[in-house]
Structure 1
Amino acid sequence: MTQTYLTTQELAARIKYDVRTIRNQLKDSVLLEGVHYIRPFGGRKILYIWEQIEKDMRSTFDGVGMMALQ
């Protein structure tokens, strides 16, 4: 499976969140290392895995939507 890796700035543009919000509020609480992002070659740079983030955003939305219908 091909994965799309995004920088924090690219992710911010896709999900319409501020870069600081991603870094300060979402990273390590909602977005987890090894699941939603990686640090290639053990460095400081973070690359987000778009497909996993999109999947989790949709499943959260679907779950909320299903609860509202019941």
Structure 2
Amino acid sequence: MSHTYLTTQELSERIKYNPRTIRNDLKDTVLIEGIHYIRPFGGRKILYVWEEVEKDMRTSIKGTVNAMALQ
């Protein structure tokens, strides 16, 4: 399976969030290292795995919709 790796800037353009919001609010809370992003070669650079981010965005929407329907 091939993956699409994105920088923070590229991810921000796709999901329409400010790069600072991704780094400060989403990383390590919603976006988890090893699932949604990696640090290639143990470095400081972060690359986001687009397929995992997109999958979880869609799952979160379904969960929210289902929870709202139960109320």
Q: Establish whether TM, by shorter chain, passes 0.5.
A: yes
Query: TM-score, normalized by length of structure 2?
Result: 0.94
The unaligned stretches of length 5 or more in structure 1 are none
Query: TM-score, normalized by length of structure 1?
Result: 0.95
Matched with 1:26 is 26
Q: What is the number of equivalent residue pairs in this alignment?
A: 70
Matched with 2:47 is 47
Tell me which stretches of 4 or more aligned residues in structure 1 moved more than 4 Å. Answer: none
Identity of aligned residues (%): 66
The CA RMSD over aligned residues, in Å, is 0.7
* CA positional deviation for 1:46: 0.3
The unaligned stretches of length 5 or more in structure 2 are none
2-structure distance, mates of 1:60, 1:15? 14
The correspondence of residues 50-61 of structure 1 with structure 2, limited to 5 A, is 50-61=50-61
Matched with 1:64 is 64
